[in-house]
Amino acid sequence: MKVSVQAVAVWGKIAPSHSITAIMITDDQQTIVTGSEEGQICLWDLSSELKISSKEILFGHTASVTCLAKARE
C-alpha cells in the first residue's frame, strides 16, 4: 500500500526564494528535483497529467546547489 504525505509549509505567508540552478527527474518520471542558488533542494511530484506540486524542501547547504546526481542502488 502506498501512503501519501502532504508537504507542510513552515515559513509563513511568503515562501523562501528558490532560484533554480540545477534540475533532475527521477527514472520513474514521477519526481522532479531542483537545486537552488540559495542552497536548497526541492522535491516536486509530477502527475501523469503533467501537474507539478511541491513535496519537500531541504535546507542545509551553505553554497548554491549547481549539480544534482542520483545514487546507484
Between 6 and 30, the more confident residue is: 30
Supply the range of the domain harboring residue 44. Answer: 21-68
In this structure, is residue 40 part of a structural domain? Answer: yes
In this structure, is residue 43 part of a structural domain? Answer: yes
End-to-end CA distance of the chain: 22
For 7-43, how does the pLDDT look when each residue is reduced to its tens digit (9 = 90+)? 555 666 776 677 889 999 999 999 999 999 989 999 9
Tell the burial category of 33 from Cβ atoms under 10 Å away from its Cβ (0-12, 13-18, 19+): buried
pLDDT at residue 18 in the model? 77
For 55-73, how does the pLDDT look when each residue is reduced to its tens digit (9 = 90+)? 888 888 889 999 999 887 7
In this structure, is residue 55 part of a structural domain? Answer: yes
In this structure, is residue 11 part of a structural domain? Answer: no
In this structure, is residue 9 part of a structural domain? Answer: no
In this structure, is residue 54 part of a structural domain? Answer: yes
In this structure, is residue 12 part of a structural domain? Answer: no
- The DSSP secondary-structure symbol of 62 reads S
Sheet strand arrangement including 41-46? 20-25, 31-36, 41-46, 52-58
Distance of CA 19 to the CA centre of its chain: 12
pLDDT at residue 7 in the model? 54
Number of independent structural domains in the chain? 1
pTM over 0.75: no
Beta-bridge mates of residue 46: 52
